Amino acid sequence: MLITHDNILTDRGSKYAVSGGPATSKAEALALLKTLKRQKKFAKATHNTWALLTTDGPLKNDDGEAGAGMVIVRMLERAELHNHLIIVTRWFGGTHLGGDRFRRVQDCVTHYLDHIDPLRG
């Protein structure tokens, strides 16, 4: 089951969404990513960066957004959320964000975590 929060923030023209769902392997993560990309909007996104903590260790893919997958991994580790894929989608708006792009990824993951676990606060 894939949960998507669309249009959660915009920064200098770039738009962001965050999605996720239960996954225990790279194959399951890629299947969820494929499900997301069935929506034309997500298939045409500039980046679909993702990460997942499995019993065998972390899996991640930056999808061209260098370093963003590791940001998601660290946040999953802090939240102690295993076997749950998080995908941060970005549609590039024409202005490079520099290091701020990592803050936007963090904002998206925080939004997702807060909505799957309201007690996390």
Q: Note whether 60 and 50 are within 8 A (CB).
A: yes
Q: What share of the chain is helix, strand, coil (3-state, %, to 5)?
A: 40, 30, 30
Instruction: Report pLDDT for 117.
Output: 62
Mean pLDDT (whole number) for 59-69: 95
Stretch 53-62: mean pLDDT, rounded? 96
Query: Is residue 101 very low, low, confident or very high in pLDDT (cuts 50, 70, 90)?
Result: confident
